[in-house]
Structure 1
């Protein structure tokens, strides 16, 4: 089973913790594979819904996946803030704000990345 098949299965199960943990163990080649396939899978998920429906039930797991595999801080920031992932429960709508220090959230996925991406993506620039 490829890294992408494993991650896709975890996305389908909506298990953000398992996605973050699995991605932390991927090598650079596997991260690139997942990063290359993730945007297409987002389109697949959107295609299973009505045009007005958001991806509320997949937002957390997709954020975790993208934070862990996309190249560079700008790509990660763009992915995390996609309109598809803005749910009615997000802070923009008065919902719960995630704890940025919780390693299970998207910040945990970025923190486990090799190189300077985690520092570059940090709110204070590292």
Structure 2
């Protein structure tokens, strides 16, 4: 098989990791062919996945009918036979609705690894055909194929993906936030001036001592709309099972990694801008903790 055929077969198997392996094996000419063919393969890939799902579901239904018929022939009532079916391994085999969309993740990976420009790759990853179907981004395979691209290309992609953040819970859950933040961290690209990026960053558990984004984004915590609402329920860490932003920022100041006065001034600036009690609650708590230890 040639490069395109190998990639298409991996897509057909619904395997994003295998698709990444095949993309990384492509030479320059094969990569161009894959990039050219991918847009035309969306429809066939979707139809093939739906057909596989329909066939598997029909096969499972036939298995159920055979099982129930055999149990009834053996003396069980229909109700007893159906109840026994629910306990079989065949019944518990997964034929879930999400199988209908298992073509999306490998296609995303193929495009990220083969399309020529960073703008085209970003548009492909978030293509409308792939959105709204409940499919999470295949983070590890995407990062593998992106890491094989030139450094400047990766940095361009990182900024473009970050610019697509909207500060929504869905993006936090589907891997969009994780992809954007990880690309910025890996490439060292300056984070764009984009408020939803700051909100997304504030929605993750902080590790400010080692996070390369901290020096860029901490000052923006006091400026970006939505940060206060995201962090409104933050407390110190005791009994929470996770590190809080209050403790992380205070520890950073204690370690001399950031001036305590800069954080206090940030809180004051945020107060002067006004806002609801909900939006300001986190900054009030942070201000109080910084002053207590000053």
Which TM-score band applies after superposition, normalised by the shorter structure? Answer: 0.7 to 0.9
Deviations 1:34-89 (CA, angstroms, capped at 9, x unpaired): 1111111113234566xxxxx62211111011000001111001101111111442
Query: Is 1:6 the equivalent of 2:43?
Result: no
2:113 alignment partner in structure 1:
68
In structure 1, the gaps of 5 or more residues are 50-54, 91-95
2 CA distance for matches of 1:115 and 1:28? Answer: 17
In structure 2, the gaps of 5 or more residues are 51-99, 160-183, 190-294
Contact 1:66 1:79 in 2 (8 A): yes
Query: Is 1:35 the equivalent of 2:35?
Result: yes
1:57 alignment partner in structure 2:
102
Contact 2:46 2:101 in 1 (8 A): no
The structure with the greater share of residues assigned to helix is 2
1:78 alignment partner in structure 2:
123
Aligned-residue Cα RMSD (Å) equals 2.6
2 CA distance for matches of 1:118 and 1:58? Answer: 25
Give the match's secondary structure for 1:67. helix
Query: Is 1:103 the equivalent of 2:148?
Result: no
Contact 1:56 1:86 in 2 (8 A): no
Query: Is 1:22 the equivalent of 2:58?
Result: no
The two structures have a TM-score, normalised by structure 1, of: 0.75
Contact 2:46 2:103 in 1 (8 A): no
The structure with higher relative contact order (CA 8 Å, sep 6+) is 1
The two structures have a TM-score, normalised by structure 2, of: 0.35
